[in-house]
Amino acid sequence: MATAPLRRRWAEPGHAESDFLLVVRRFAGPVRGVLLVLVSVFGTLAAPAAQVPLAFALLGLAVVCGAADVVAGWTDRGTRAALVLTVVRAAAICLAQDATAPVPGGVNQWAFNTLTITAITMQWQWPPRVTVPALAAVLAVSLPSSGADDTLMTVLRVLIESVLARLALMLLLRSAREVDSARERQVESERAESVALARRREEREYLALLHDTASATFLMVASRGADSDPDEVARYARRDLDVLTGFSDDSQAYDGLVALEPSLRPVLEHSPLDVNDRWDQSPMVPVPVALALVRALREALLNVERHAGVAEVDVHVAAEGGGVAVTVTDTGRGFDPAAVPADRHGVRGSLVERMRAAGGSAVVSSSPGSGTTVRLAWSDD
């Protein structure tokens, strides 16, 4: 069938052009069938009494052809039969135009409307290589009985309406094609933005990881100078090397959900601080969230170890809503968060941005001489 290549050409879903074309071709046949049945009903009522049997026969033909149009439009089956019946119906009604005209010798609107409706709807359903010979055949068999003036006007009318119908379809298809192009550009832009965002997140994570490991160790050594314990520095260096090279357990990524306590417990146990931990519940969280919490908790404990001037810290893990909250509290010397320089990655990179990248939050509350509280939270909302 002539429409099959076109249907295969635009068979990919989700495109405005293909969706529009399929809708138009699905409705063109049913619309033609319903309209011509209505036109045939009025034509039958207006036919001369002597020609009522002929008019009812043509009405029956219109009903049968209309049913074929509806079936072909909604099921994509019988399209070839619908095309043949469309030509037969138009030719039969036009051939009988003199007999069924309300006024002998007058214009038969039944035949004229059938011809124009057929010409227009065929442009929406089939390509020109099908519609041109089909309409030419209808005109060839139906116009000889008309006068020369009527024949010329009818041909011009059918030609103009067919061209306008085809142009309208082409313009609408062009608009749909532009919508597809705009949509593709938007998808490409969103994809590029997503890649850039992922790259920025990786860079922030890398900077945060450097701060948590090598940079923090270097700063500790620089601050202590000759008083640095070589064994302690070596222990930190081995840990930093494991994390940066991907050999530590918490730097590996898995899919699915994990229990939070087995993920956080090693961080607490390996901390040199005296950790008073309290677990209200150990919820299941996505792996990226667990990884962010592990690294943020480690950074919070390292900050206490290096800056708070105390050897004890409280850690409270609690389920909160649909997520979890981890609170780290110390009674150390504290600091002013607003006074931290913008180029320092400790609080901002290792805590705030790391948790934000995982869909959570990190809030640091502190003041000089009043200790520090770090609250790490994530919710599945």
* 8 Å CB contact between 134 and 142: no
E-only strand ranges, the chain: 257-259, 274-279, 284-286, 312-320, 323-330, 360-366, 372-378
Mean pLDDT rounded to a whole number for the chain = 78
Per-residue confidence (pLDDT) for residue 34, from 0 to 100: 92
Tokens of 102: 């309300």
Q: pLDDT tens for residues 280-320?
A: 877 788 877 877 888 888 888 888 888 888 889 999 998 88
Lowest-pLDDT range, 13-22, 66-75, 276-285? 13-22
The mean pLDDT of 131-145, rounded to a whole number, is: 81
Please tell me which of 37-41, 269-273, 369-373 the model is most confident about, judged by mean pLDDT: 37-41
Averaged pLDDT, 250-269: 66
Span 226-232, average pLDDT: 64
DSSP element (H, E) containing 157: helix 148-210
CB burial class (10 A; 0-12, 13-18, 19+) of residue 316? middle
Domains of the chain in sequence order: 3-185 (no CATH), 256-381 (3.30.565.10)
What is the C-alpha end-to-end distance of the chain, expressed in Å? Answer: 53
Token pair 């529009």 in the structure block, residue: 20
The average pLDDT across 15-30 equals: 83
Cα 239 to Cα 31: distance, rounded to the nearest angstrom: 75
Between CA 335 and CA 315 the distance in angstroms is 19
Q: Does the structure show a pLDDT above 80 at 356?
A: yes
**Residue 163 Ramachandran class (φ > 0 left, ψ -120 to 50 alpha, else beta):** alpha
Contact between 44 and 114 (Cβ < 8 Å): no
Compute how many other C-beta atoms are within 10 angstroms of the C-beta atom of residue 212: 25
pLDDT at 228: 61
Q: Reply yes or no on whether the pLDDT at 37 is more than 90.
A: yes
Query: Which range has the top average pLDDT, 130-134, 177-181, 247-251, 302-306?
Result: 130-134
pLDDT the model gives residue 10: 38
Q: How many CB atoms lie within 10 A of CB 176?
A: 18
As beta bridge partners, residue 286 has 257
From CA 88, how far away is CA 85, in angstroms rounded?
5
Least confident of 23-32, 55-64, 254-263, 370-379: 254-263
Residue 259 pLDDT greater than 90, yes or no: no
- Structure confidence at residue 63 as a pLDDT band (50, 70, 90): very high
